[in-house]
Amino acid sequence: MTEPGFVSSSTLQFLFAGYAVIWAALFGYIWFLARRQRRLEAELKRLERAVSEER
Amino acid sequence: MPEAKGPARDMTQTLGLLAAVAVFVALGLVFLWVPAERVMGDVQRIFYFHVASAWNAFLAFLVVFVASIAFLRSGSHRWDTLAYCSAEIGVVFTTITLITGPIWARPIWNTWWSWDPRLTTTLILWFIYLAYLVIRSSAEGSQQQSRLAAVFGIIGFVDVPIVFMSTRWWRSIHPTLIQTDKMNMEPSMVFTMVFSFVSFTILYAFLLSYRVRLETLAERAAALKRDLRR
């Protein structure tokens, strides 16, 4: 049993890995959404121009 | 440019800022304030965001459940969109839960995975909502396919209370943090856990708002394409 505040170096790598996974998943998902937003906004701009030209 | 400015975008940005601040404060509490757990040591700090991720997954699937019922009752496409976006976010948080759990378990249980009731029912939950996403993403405007996905979203939610109750109903090695009358932690740990829940709930609200806005943009683009084809 460890004392409160005891730093167990053998488990620190797991702690690091756990939080690395959390941040990779969250930032990865937000990056995926941001990329999709840029593509959609560009596509909408193009489509609206095409529609207004047709009219 | 449509959607470049507007209340929806403002709300998403405000929620994003709030979520960033709240998660940053939660990280401070987890790493700088709360003491290490006596038995598990520092690796227990994974729990604060692991449990908050599981909470977000449950919340996301509850939204799928409610929105799917509302969609079947009203036929309004907005509910279908809300359910679809929430399911996607729920799957992201279930994935985080399923990966961080074994990372915690390896030094504590001396194994990456055990077919424990909590772990098994959570894995089933992940598969259920992956299947929901496959069904719903193939809808492409088909009302019938959306309705099928909604039925799946409603039935799939049955697994959420099973996941939550699994450690109480069956013999499980997974820790039960929340009991009927108390939490099995000291007060500073309870405070950090609750704060992590709150910060992740704001993060969920931000992601849902962002994802719904993108879906609305995609639907507008699809409508313009149809206009051009006529």
Count other C-beta atoms under 10 Å from residue A48's C-beta. 15
Please tell me the distance in Å from B28's CA to the nearest CA on chain A.
13
In this predicted complex, what is the ipTM? 0.86
Decide if B107 and A6 are in contact by the 8 Å CB cutoff: no
What the block records as the tokens of B47 is 């729990």
Encode chain B (230 residues) as per-residue pLDDT tens digits.
344 457 777 889 999 999 999 999 999 999 999 888 888 888 889 999 999 999 999 999 999 999 999 999 998 999 999 999 999 999 999 999 999 999 999 888 888 988 999 999 999 999 999 999 999 988 776 788 889 999 999 999 999 999 988 888 887 777 776 665 666 678 899 999 999 999 999 999 999 999 999 999 998 998 888 888 77
Cβ-in-10-Å burial (0-12, 13-18, 19+) of B183 comes to: middle
* Residue of B64, B68, B78, B16 whose CA lies nearest to B219: B78
8 Å CB contact between B158 and B166: no
On whether the CB atoms of residues B50 and B101 are closer than 8 A, the answer is: yes
Cα A4 from Cα B41, distance rounded (Å): 8
Helix B77-109 and helix B117-137, axial crossing angle in degrees, nearest 10: 150
Of B38, B53, B107, nearest to A1 by CB-CB distance is: B38
Residue type, B227: D
Taking an 8 Å cut-off on Cβ atoms, the answer to whether B43 and A6 are in contact is no
What pLDDT score was predicted for residue B1? 36
The answer to whether the Cβ–Cβ distance between A33 and B210 falls below 8 Å is yes
Asked if B100's CB is within 8 angstroms of A18's CB, the reply is yes
Give residues with Cβ within 8 angstroms of B6, minimum separation 6. Answer: none
Note if the pTM is more than 0.90.
no
Nearest-neighbour CA in chain A from B20: distance (Å): 12
Give the orientation angle of helix B117-137 with respect to helix B46-74, to 10 degrees: 40
Residue B221 touches partner A, C-beta closer than 8 Å: yes
Query: Shortest CB distance from B39 goes to which of A1, A18, A19?
Result: A1
Say whether residue A33 is in contact with chain B using an 8 A CB cutoff: yes
B48: tokens are 């604060």
**Model confidence over A23-40: pLDDT tens digits?**
999 999 999 999 999 999
Say if residues B97 and B224 touch (Cβ distance below 8 Å): no
The answer to whether the CB atoms of B221 and A30 lie below 8 A apart is: no
**Cα distance between residue B155 and residue B72, in whole Å:** 13
Tokens 């800022």 sit on residue: B17
Contact B53, B122 (CB under 8 A): no
Say whether A18 and B221 touch across the interface (CB within 8 A): no
Question: What pLDDT, on a 0 to 100 scale, did the predictor assign at position B49?
Answer: 95
Q: Which token pair is A18?
A: 């756990």
Q: Does B140 touch chain A (CB under 8 A)?
A: no
CA A4/CA B37 separation, integer angstroms: 6
Identity of the residue numbered B130: L
Q: Do A15 and B35 touch (CB under 8 A)?
A: no
Please report residues of A whose CB lies closer than 8 A to that of B38: 1-4
Residues of chain B positioned with their CB less than 8 A from the CB of A47: 221, 224-225, 228
Which residue shows structure tokens 């992940």? B126
Q: Which amino acid is at B143?
A: Q
Q: Does B42 touch chain A (CB under 8 A)?
A: yes
Domain ranges in chain B are 48-224
- Alpha helices (H) in chain B, listed in sequence order: 7-28, 46-74, 77-109, 117-137, 143-156, 159-169, 187-229
Category of B110 on φ-ψ map: left (φ > 0), alpha (ψ -120 to 50) or beta:
left
What is the model's pLDDT at position B42? 85
Q: Hey, is the C-beta of A51 within 8 angstroms of any chain B C-beta?
A: yes
pLDDT of residue A9: 56
Residue of B32, B46, B207 best to disrupt the A interface, most CBs of A under 10 A: B46
Map out the domains of chain A as residue ranges.
Answer: 11-55
